[in-house]
A and B are shown apart, each in its own frame.
Chain A
Amino acid sequence: MNRTFRSFAIITVALVVFGPLGLIIYQSFLSEAFFSPTARPSLGAYQYVLTDSGFHSAFGTSLLVSLGMTVIAVPLGSLLAFLLVRTDLPWKRFLEPWLLVPIFLSPVVVAFGYVVAVGPVGFFSLWAKSLIGSVPWRLYSLYGLILIAGLTHVPHSFLYVSSALRSLDPSVEEAARVAGAGPWRIAVTVSLPLVLPSILFSSALIFLLGFELFGLPLVLGDPAGLLVLTTYLYKLTNLLGVPSYHLMAVVALSIVALTFPLVYAQRRMLRTAGRFAVIGGKGQAFRPLPLGAFRWPAVGIVVLWLAVTVLLPLVGVALRSVVSQWGEGVNISEVLTLDHFRELQVHPNLIRGIINTLLLGGIGGALSVAFYAVIGLAAHRWQSRWVSFLDYLVMLPRALPGLIVGLAFLWVFLFFKPIAPLRTTLFSLWIAYTVVWLAYGLRLISASLLQVKPELEEAARVIGAGQGKIYGDVTLPLIRFGLVGSWLLMFMMFVREYSTGVYLLGPGTEVIGSLIVSLWGTGALDLISALSVIEVASVGLILFIALRLGVRLDA
């Protein structure tokens, strides 16, 4: 029973990962879209893309954005981690959950928020103009894009550095204190160097995420004529008038060729980081380092980052959704309205999108957690080389941006005729989402499984329970809280997801995220702002429930 269960798990994962990837590779070597009768093997697509100057500049921009955001996000995230984990920063308990909020916000919503808040005619831009006569910043620029990408990715480095700092033996810092070092010196010379592996790991992660950015460059880069690899891919769709699938496949593969080595390097780093992390300390109570006179400036840094990264775009979106029009010389109190929300009802596809989003998050999220749990259980306490094969399989989708997974699944449903009818159902989105979030979801599950002490399962085994009984009577009941937490997290991730649905968007498969992307092309700011508010409100509600239940956001 165990054997069939485990083979089933491995084969299923292999199928959903290699199937789409294989199809992209196959498509890249054709002269036209795979369904065209005149398609034949060719290297023409590679030749076209690799010699296209547009591709070259998109590649360069991607590289710059990735580097730039890493340089901003990693030091800031590490600093915030030190302040929140190791010092007596005031308001710590209140601030901590907020630090992870950007992870649960859709980048396309955030980008839209920045446009209406600090864009050329944004609320705050016009306010600044009325004060000093001109707008002192330019949002639509490479620097604007890099700065915002950097600020919104701070949580990713905070997450890894803070968890490493938590397992650091406080006595090493106390020793530095006794020797006469102040809090900043301790951070720079003791704490952060000791968690260097985690800092490097988060740098590689953020650098990787830079190549997968889509919502931010689409909204913020486009008006300035800036294309990155993903937006270049997106523009190719309409470039030649006919579906240029072979070119898109080559661009997709070129992104994977960049991200895959990064994911692989990260995995290796994680292995050494894990060895490094348990430096000592049994989680004993320790006195946080006193910041002294720096207490309030330190809070200032955290609050300023939160204001710019979370508050600014959200206030922008919320304000934009309740004004009928906006521009220079408009008085806010005269244009307040709820018409945009009423207008949503006129568009059946938007209403369907809202319902679909919630269905996909609620029911789809639960099904995905069930799927991840099956895979997680299959690998649980299994000493075999197949487990490391499964590990590699699972990490592959991390090298695939949602945009590309969505595109690949579109092709899968077009290519394999028997499953073609599923393309216009939510199932196509669900399976694409499940693959995109495979690594994340499995990490949640295995974090829960790790908490189950082996003796608890062995005790059942000795008493006479078979593998199935052990899972059903001991393992799963013990991780039930972890499963609920995972479901809430997947719920939020699925609601905020936007890029995976872009290519699968059609009647029946609308979701808020991909609708916003397609509406952005038409400039329907009123509808976008209303949809964004609904999305953020849904995520906020789930986040509130999750926090009340004590779900750890930093899994």
Chain B
Amino acid sequence: MAKINYNKEKTGRILGGSGPRDIQLRQRLLHQEVIKRDVEDTRPTMVIEDMPKMQKVDLSQYLPLKKVKQKIDEAVKFTVNKYEEILNDLKNQLKIKDSELDKVRSELLMKEELLKIKEDIYTNLQVKMDKIYNRISDGSIQSFVGKNRPELEDGIFIDPLEKSDNQSLDSHIDIREEKEASDRDMKGDLNKLRSLLKK
């Protein structure tokens, strides 16, 4: 904040107490006095009314301290017993469940063993079926069912052409030969084929 210079020369004259700060101070003091008077005015009204007198307690109607302690001990014991019973019940149930679980486990093991046996049987059967299939494919196994049963010979072909059908035709067809450009070695190929077919 800028400082305001007081340029007036000091004359040594004493101030008369009539400045604004003096007036302000006087007003504040006046106000404090008013407050003080108001507080004092309220003092006579702050009178404490008569308090009710304390009645004398009759202790004969209460149990003695020893008895109370005994009763508390009994209640604690009762509660402890009750919860111990519940805990025992739960332990028994847990034992039953454990034995049931053991039973299920042993059944599961038994079933796993059975499954393994079945898988072995299935694998053996698969191998046997493959062997039989291969033997059927190569003709070494043939069906014997109904071997001598009479069969209907329905594979009959009748030529739809008459013998004279060709006679009226005069062919002018001349087809030229084509030799393969790659010069394929048929004799070599035939030998390969014979060895592959074991002929």
Q: Do A and B come from one complex?
A: no
